[in-house]
Amino acid sequence: MSNIDFIHEEKAADIGNFLVGRLLPFRQKRSIGPFVFIDHMGPACLADYENLDVPPHPHIGLSTLTYLFDGAIMHRDSIGNEIEIQPGAVNWMTAGKGVTHSERTPVYLRQRDKFLHGLQIWVALPKKLEFIDPEFYHVEAKDIPSWTTEGISYKLIAGEVFGKKSAVPVYSPLYMIEITSIEEKNIDIGQYLFGESGLYILEGEVVNQGHHYGPKQILITKDAHLCSFTMKANTTVYIFGGEPFPEERFIYWNFVATDKATIDKAKDDWSNHRFPLVVNDSGYVPLPESKLK
């Protein structure tokens, strides 16, 4: 991955009662292609009295992608979906004009020790689709394109690249790729990629132009065609990227939009309980005090 424009290390943030590492956005970089938000959850060992509990909260103007390495999360939303996600599968929820959802430890795990580890991602919607009706898709792990080439394992979690297409129904040109190698390998895939690109090191080590990078770092380049690097043995990386949108995106709490008036309306609607309710879940996350401006 030549000509790295940004190197960023994840920073701690809270979601519900759970500590995560925030990768995007940060001060120097607000998006990578259409990706506007990336959280690394865990890895965490939760005791029998500890659980993930993110009560009902709203979204607009984006799609959320949840991908787990370990553990399980029960998703419920205002469209009526109630589904457990497990490692390797993808939950893809498109908020559009507005959706409410919750994320909790499943009932059968709540009174036992458990692990939780994964990624949660927001992808901004194209301007013309910001106000579509909300949708939800669950894609099982077996339906995610996976292959091995020259000892390197690939998964195309979302998007279209390498002549392959994920079953996740994205709304703009993008890609999210998992690459794993148990041996040291040189990777040169820039010819297949497009737009901007970010490489997140989950485990192991990546070398680029003599520089060594370790876990919890994300390397960002504005030109994905320059994506080449060396993976040391037992390394797993995730590559996010795609074509950036021409319009600026405003992000305020859980809301993404191309104009501030839409954000203001969402704030008012949530504060006055005009968003749809989550089916089979109760609770309410107030608009954070720090954001009541």
pLDDT (tens digit per residue) in 100-122? 999 999 999 999 999 999 999 99
pLDDT tens-digit map of 196-247: 999 999 999 999 888 899 988 888 887 777 788 999 999 999 999 999 999 9
State the Cα–Cα distance between residues 121 and 178, nearest whole angstrom: 14
Using CB atoms within 10 Å of the CB of residue 268, give its burial: 0 to 12 exposed, 13 to 18 middle, 19+ buried: exposed
**pLDDT above 70 (res 29):** no
β-strands 217-221, 228-231 pairing = unpaired
Radius of gyration, alpha carbons of the chain: 19
Q: Render the burial of 19-47: b for 16+ CB within 10 Å, e for the rest.
A: ebbbbbbeeebebbbbbbbbbbbbebebe
End-to-end CA distance of the chain: 40
**pLDDT above 90 (res 156):** yes
The pLDDT of residue 12 is 53
Domain ranges in the chain are 6-242
Asked if residues 1 and 208 have their Cβ atoms less than 8 Å apart, the reply is yes
Query: What's the mean per-residue pLDDT of the chain?
Result: 89
State the Cα–Cα distance between residues 117 and 46, nearest whole angstrom: 11
> What are the C-alpha distances in Å from 162 to residues 165, 175, 176, 221?
8, 10, 12, 19
Mean pLDDT for 21-45 is: 78
**pLDDT above 50 (res 257):** yes
State the Cα–Cα distance between residues 39 and 25, nearest whole angstrom: 9
- What is the assigned CATH class of domain 6-242? mainly beta
pLDDT tens-digit map of 46-66: 999 999 999 999 999 999 999
Mean pLDDT for 145-150 is: 95
Q: Is the peptide bond preceding residue 55 cis, with omega within 30 degrees of 0?
A: no
State the Cα–Cα distance between residues 11 and 25, nearest whole angstrom: 10
Strands, E assignment, 182-264: 185-188, 196-203, 206-208, 211-213, 217-221, 228-231, 235-242, 250-252, 255-257
State the Cα–Cα distance between residues 26 and 76, nearest whole angstrom: 29
